[in-house]
């Protein structure tokens, strides 16, 4: 019986992710985008989330192997392009 290769893990590519922010926060992001040269909302959110996640111990724990494998197989955002 042929062995099925394990799905690839994250590659660092951008994936769409929808969430909510309060209207005032959204307005501030748009103000920064308009007034701050080179400001990118996407990169700002990535940097901010990474800094917050670095302080969250649970975010540093790897998922159990069966959970990770299922996530990599079933979540379209984690599928190879």
Chain centroid to CA 42: how far? Answer: 10
Contact 8, 72 (CB under 8 A): yes
pTM: 0.76
pLDDT at 12: 87
The two tokens of residue 35 are 């007034």
Give the integer Cα–Cα distance in Å for 33 and 44. Answer: 10
The two tokens of residue 38 are 């080179």
Please list the pLDDT of the chain residue by residue as tens digits (81 residues).
555 455 566 788 898 889 999 999 999 999 999 999 999 999 999 999 999 999 999 999 999 999 999 999 999 888 887
């007034």: which residue's tokens? Answer: 35
Q: Is the C-alpha dihedral spanning 35, 36, 38, 43 positive or negative?
A: negative
């Amino acid at each position: 019986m042929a062995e099925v290769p394990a799905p690839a893990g994250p590659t660092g590519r951008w994936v769409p992710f929808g969430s909510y922010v309060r209207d005032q926060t959204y307005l501030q992001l748009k103000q920064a985008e308009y007034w701050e040269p080179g400001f990118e909302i996407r990169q700002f959110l990535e940097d901010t989330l990474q800094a917050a996640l670095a302080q969250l111990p649970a975010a540093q724990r790897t998922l159990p192997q069966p959970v990770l494998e299922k996530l990599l197989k079933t979540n379209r955002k984690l599928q190879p392009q």
